[in-house]
C-alpha cells in the first residue's frame, strides 16, 4: 500500500494489517515467540528463524511505518535512542563528522557528546535555520550527515527540510530528520528530500503513553538494507507486544493529531494574553521566525507548545508543580496533557553546554482532553 493509491488514514489503518490468512482476524496477531520451527535445515518457514532477526508482528509495524512516511523501508527498535545509535554506527565511522541542531533533544545531545564522541565521531551544533552556518560547519569529505529536528525539542525552531537536503546532497552527505514532534500526519520529510527519518514511536505514533519504541524509515532500498543488517546485528529491536501496541496507536494517529492541534491552538491563544507569560513558542504563530517555512512543509503546527515564565526559573518550576490536569512528567505525544521543566528534566544532560535551555522555559504536550478544562488548569497554575 502506498500514498499514491490511498490517503493517510487508510494507510495508517490498513498498511501491514491484512486479515490473518488462517483465522480471518482483522487485527494482526501478537507472535509472542522467541524462535520458529524450521521445515528443514536451511529452510526456515516464511524466512522466520529467531525473533531478533524477524517477527511477524514487528514486520506488520515496519510495513505500516514505511507506508505512512512514504518510505522504502521501515525498521522498528526498542526506543528512539536505540534507533539513533543504530543509524549512527551503520552510516558513520570513527573520524567522521555530523552537524546537529543547536537546540537538539537532550537525549540526542547526550548520545553524541557522551557516547558517539568516545567512539570517535565528531559533531558540531549549529542553528539549522541558518543555512550559512550549516554550510560553514561542513567538513567536505568528512561530514556524513546533517541531523535535523523540526520542530526542535523544546524550543520549537523550524528547519527547512528541502533546503537542508539540497545542502547535504551537495556534499554527498545524508539528511536525517527526527520527525517525532510533527508525526507523519503533519510532515513528510522524505518527500522533501530527506534520506532517513527517525522517530521515537513512544510519542505520537504510539500515542497512549503505554509503550516505548523507536523507528527508522529510509528513502532508498540500499540504505534500508544496510540498516536492517545492523538492526539484527546490534539487536536493539522491540518485542512483539510493543510492536503491536505501536501499530494499534498508529491507526488513530490522524484523528488524534487533529485534536492535538485544535487544543494546542487554543492553549497558545490563551498563553499569549496571560501576564505571567513573557513569550510563547509555537510555529503556528505568524510572529514565529520559522512560521513561513513551517506553513510550507507542515499540514498543521502540532500539539507541542513551549513558553517562558515571567519570574524566571523559580516561577517556571512553580507553574509545573501547580497543574492538576497537565501531568508533571517527561515524554510527550500521548492522549493526556503533560507539563515539564526542560532545564531540570528532559534536557538536564545539556546543562552547562551550548545546548543548555533557558531556565524560565516550560514545555507542554497538549493532549486531547476537553480544551476548556485544560485552559482552566493553566489559569489556576499560572495564578
SS3 348: helix
Average pLDDT over residues 158-187: 98
Cα(159)–Cα(86) distance, rounded to whole angstroms?
A: 24
Q: What integer pLDDT is reported at residue 4 of this predicted model?
A: 80
d(CA 366, CA 121): 36
pLDDT score at 233: 98
What is the average per-residue pLDDT within 216-245?
98
Cβ-contact 13, 251 below 8 angstroms: yes
Tens-place pLDDT, residues 37-52 = 999 999 999 999 999 9
> Please, what is the average pLDDT of the chain?
97
Handedness of CA 191, 196, 201, 202 (dihedral sign): negative
**Once rounded to an integer, what is the mean pLDDT over residues 159-164?**
98
Q: What span, in angstroms and rounded, lies between the C-alpha atoms of 279 and 310?
A: 9
Span 84-100, average pLDDT: 98
Closest to 99 (Cα-Cα) out of 132, 138, 70: 138
Beta bridge partner(s), residue 365: 304, 338
166 Cβ neighbours under 8 A, 6+ residues apart: 193
Looking up cell 545546548 gives 355
Which has the higher per-residue pLDDT, 276 or 352? 276
pTM value?
A: 0.96
Instruction: For residues 94 and 104, give the distance between their C-alpha atoms in angstroms, rounded to a whole number.
Output: 22
pLDDT of residue 90: 98
- What is Dmax (Cα atoms) for the chain? 73
Does 354 have pLDDT greater than 90?
no
- Whether pLDDT at 2 is above 90: no
Q: Shortest CA distance to 51 belongs to which of 248, 243, 247?
A: 243
Between residues 34 and 5, the one the model is more confident about: 34
Q: Annotated active-site positions, please?
A: 52, 105, 178, 203
Closest to 356 measured CA to CA, from 324, 313, 318 = 313
Spatial CA neighbour of 58 closest among 198, 231, 177, 195? 231
**Cα–Cα distance for residue pair 217/227, rounded to 1 Å:** 10
Amino acid at each position: 500500500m502506498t500514498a499514491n493509491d490511498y490517503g493517510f488514514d487508510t494507510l495508517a489503518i490498513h498498511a501491514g494489517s491484512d486479515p490473518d490468512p488462517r483465522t480471518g482476524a482483522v487485527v494482526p496477531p501478537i507472535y509472542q515467540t522467541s524462535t520458529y520451527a524450521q521445515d528443514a535445515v536451511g529452510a526456515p518457514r516464511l524466512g522466520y528463524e529467531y525473533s531478533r532477526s524477524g517477527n511477524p508482528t514487528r514486520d506488520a509495524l515496519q510495513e505500516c511505518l514505511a507506508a505512512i512516511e512514504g518510505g522504502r523501508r521501515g525498521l522498528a527498535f526498542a526506543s528512539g535512542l536505540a534507533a539513533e545509535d543504530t543509524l549512527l554506527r551503520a552510516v558513520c565511522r570513527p573520524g567522521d563528522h555530523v552537524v546537529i541542531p543547536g537546540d537538539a533533544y537532550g537525549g540526542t545531545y547526550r548520545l553524541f557528546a557522551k557516547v558517539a564522541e568516545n567512539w570517535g565521531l565528531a559533531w558540531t551544533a549549529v542553528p539549522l535555520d541558518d543555512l550559512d552556518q550549516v554550510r560553514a560547519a561542513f567538513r567536505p569529505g568528512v561530514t556524513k550527515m546533517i541531523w535535523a529536528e523540526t520542530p526542535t525539542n523544546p524550543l520549537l525552531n523550524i528547519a527547512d527540510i528541502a533546503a537542508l537536503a539540497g545542502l547535504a546532497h551537495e556534499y554527498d552527505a545524508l539528511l536525517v530528520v527526527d520527525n517525532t514532534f510533527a508525526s507523519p500526519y503533519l510532515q513528510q520529510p522524505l518527500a522533501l528530500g530527506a534520506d532517513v527519518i527517525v522517530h521515537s514511536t513512544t510519542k505520537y505514533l504510539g500515542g497512549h503513553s503505554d509503550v516505548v519504541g523507536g523507528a527508522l524509515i529510509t528513502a532508498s532500498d540500499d540504505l534500508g538494507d544496510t540498516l536492517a543488517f545492523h538492526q539484527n546485528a546490534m539487536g536493539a529491536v522491540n518485542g512483539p507486544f510493543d510492536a503491536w501496541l505501536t501499530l494499534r496507536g498508529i491507526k488513530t494517529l490522524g484523528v488524534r493529531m487533529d485534536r492535538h492541534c485544535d487544543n494546542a491552538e487554543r492553549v497558545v491563544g490563551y498563553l499569549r494574553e496571560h501576564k505571567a507569560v513573557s513569550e510563547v513558542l509555537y510555529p503556528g504563530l505568524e510572529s514565529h521566525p520559522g512560521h513561513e517555512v513551517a506553513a510550507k512543509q507542515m499540514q498543521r503546527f502540532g500539539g507541542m507548545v513551549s513558553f517562558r515564565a515571567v519570574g524566571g526559573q523559580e516561577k517556571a518550576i512553580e507553574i509545573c508543580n501547580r497543574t492538576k490536569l497537565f501531568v508533571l512528567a517527561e515524554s510527550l505525544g500521548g492522549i493526556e496533557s503533560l507539563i515539564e521543566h526542560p532545564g531540570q528534566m528532559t534536557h538536564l544532560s545539556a546543562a552547562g553546554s551550548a545546548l543548555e535551555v533557558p531556565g524560565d522555559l516550560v514545555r507542554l504536550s497538549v493532549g486531547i482532553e476537553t480544551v476548556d478544562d485544560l485552559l482552566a488548569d493553566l489559569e489556576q497554575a499560572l495564578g
